[in-house]
Structure 1
Amino acid sequence: MKVYGDSISGNCLKVKYVADHLGLPYEWIETSVLKGETRTAEFLAINQAGQVPIVDFGGGRILAQSNAIMRYLARGSDLIPNDPWIEAKMDEWLFWEQYSHEPAVAVLRFKIKFQQMPLSDIDPILIKKGNAALDLMERHLTEHEWMVGDRVSLADIALKAYTQFAEDANLTLTGRPNTKRWLSGVAKALTS
């Protein structure tokens, strides 16, 4: 299994976290977005969307999109709840992460940390959306140890990926103690 990923990308880290946690062997092929390596003819021949992560399973089997890759890698593992309802709730968080969390937190982080864009040039609505996403998580985690169920799941991994870099996005975790506790718990669960 070859994983084409950029180590600065939370979406790529999601795949790495799952593979590492499950002990799946893989070759990591560092593919820098900043250096334009996802726009080369060679890469576009593998993935026309020009995005990482992608996983090449051999035999022409290539899978893109971080949450689809995570779901595929984790099939049959305890990272996907056995209860169909809890599994559906996990999927609900996975969809929310890609629609509401990642487009705010990850985009803010990229603009501030990697493009060195001054805050004055950033749309304040994007900052508002980032804070709203973190606030929703904080409220949820007030009553729950994990995003769903009674142990770490793909929902936790997906949301850890960029939440852990909130400070890089000029979004603070100060005043969000449940999110900080949860991040620590996810990190510990993934290394055990």
Structure 2
Amino acid sequence: MLTLYGMSSSGNCYKPRLLLAKLGRPFRHVEVNAMDGSTHSPEFLALNPNGKVPLLQLEDGRILAESNAMLLYLAEGTSYLPDAGFERALVYQWMFFEQYSHEPYIAVLRALKKYPERAHQATPERVAQLLEGGHKALAVMETRLEKTRFMAGDDYTVADIALYAYTQDAAFAGYEMTRFPHITAWLERVATHEGHVPMEWLP
């Protein structure tokens, strides 16, 4: 059976859980997180020297880190990852956008709001910088979703899972989601797509 090491409240850890649920693939969840130091235990570092979650252990013992790499691996041969070259490249494009232009702002500000032990890092200057960067990323998504039902086109793909994980909490983090009606409609489409499970779901 697959084993997924992760922090249940993390958006990055939610991504592979959501895809596995939609695929109907059984897996074992092992709670590991940075808050209690367990990601830096000798046992975990032996699996992932980077000391981060999520971490996926395959049935044969091989290890795969990085949430978007897991999405691409697990989606291979399914409807969640196109076969055609250009359509597949669009999925990659939005997944790279998520990691470079979206997650560093929206996920970080969410963490500052969600975890009390990080509240002291939420200086006015840093919050303003995170809001600016996050609103810029959301504006890019809004422009895209004016034209397509999902991020890579008309079909739901792992690009939607990658961007949904933290966008669903953008309002909680302090972003003005009333500015982005097409994102709001997309969030609803993702949340009502067949096989969807909320972040709180665990196997």
Relative contact order higher in (CA < 8 Å, ≥ 6 apart): 2
SS at match of 1:43: helix
- In the alignment, what sits opposite 2:137? 133
Letter in 2 for 1:63: L
Deviates more, 1:157-166 or 1:135-144: 135-144
Letter in 2 for 1:188: T
SS at match of 1:89: helix
Letter in 2 for 1:191: G
Unmatched tracts of structure 2, length 5 or more: 197-203
One of 160, 170, 174 as aligned partner of 1:156: 160
Letter in 1 for 2:139: D
**Take 1:102 and 1:190, find their aligned partners in 2: how far apart are those partners?**
25
Q: Per-residue displacement from partner, 1:64-102 (whole Å, max 9, x unpaired)?
A: 000111111111000001321111011001111111100
Q: Per-residue displacement from partner, 1:12-44 (whole Å, max 9, x unpaired)?
A: 100001100000110011112222211111111
Partners of 2:68 and 2:95 within 8 A in 1: yes
1:47-66 equivalences under 5 Å are: 47-66=48-67
Q: Per-residue displacement from partner, 1:125-146 (whole Å, max 9, x unpaired)?
A: 2221011011111111111111
**Take 1:66 and 1:13, find their aligned partners in 2: how far apart are those partners?**
9
Unmatched tracts of structure 1, length 5 or more: none
Number of aligned residues: 192
**Take 2:138 and 2:190, find their aligned partners in 1: how far apart are those partners?**
16
Letter in 2 for 1:141: L
Partners of 1:17 and 1:190 within 8 A in 2: no
**Take 1:175 and 1:44, find their aligned partners in 2: how far apart are those partners?**
42
1:24-35 equivalences under 5 Å are: 24-35=25-36
Letter in 2 for 1:154: V
**Take 1:190 and 1:172, find their aligned partners in 2: how far apart are those partners?**
28
How far residue 10 of structure 1 moved from its aligned partner, in angstroms, is 0.8
- In the alignment, what sits opposite 1:90? 91
**Take 1:96 and 1:175, find their aligned partners in 2: how far apart are those partners?**
20
Runs of 4+ deviating beyond 3 Å: none
Partners of 1:173 and 1:180 within 8 A in 2: yes
Letter in 1 for 2:26: P
How far residue 168 of structure 1 moved from its aligned partner, in angstroms, is 2.6
SS at match of 2:156: coil
SS at match of 2:29: strand
Q: CA RMSD in A?
A: 1.5
TM-score, normalization: structure 1? 0.94
SS at match of 1:63: strand
- In the alignment, what sits opposite 2:201? none
**Take 2:90 and 2:69, find their aligned partners in 1: how far apart are those partners?**
16
- In the alignment, what sits opposite 1:71? 72
